[in-house]
Amino acid sequence: MSQDNIASTVHLIMADFRTVNLKNFSVIVLYLFPEALEQIKHQLLRDCDPVTVVVSIGFLIKGFPISESFQATSGLCAYKYINIPSNSFTTSQDS
């Protein structure tokens, strides 16, 4: 894929995640602290298709099953989530 094709298909949005509709995204990259990840979990479950890829940089999304994890040489981890079933989310077990 050429750079022109990539540029026409990739859309970067810097916005308050609480106001963005996530329904039409195929990949979502989050660089949020755990408190903010807690806030966005409900939105991810409500808005995302099962095939949406969610990547969290630095922190796990509690209650979501990890598909893959990656660690940079700096030690920073990224966690990939895909096919997140709505029944995997249980607030009572999150601690």
pLDDT tens string 29-79:
999 999 999 999 989 998 888 889 999 999 999 999 999 999 999 999 999
Residue 77 tokens, joined: 């981890």
- C-alpha–C-alpha distance, residues 67 and 47, integer Å: 19
- C-alpha–C-alpha distance, residues 53 and 22, integer Å: 12
- Residue ranges of alpha helices (H) inside 10-86 are 34-47
pLDDT tens string 64-73:
999 999 999 9
Q: What are phi and psi of 65, to 5 degrees?
A: -75, 130
CA-closest candidate to residue 81, choices 40, 94, 1: 40
Question: Would strands 27-30 and 53-57 be described as parallel, antiparallel, or unpaired?
Answer: parallel
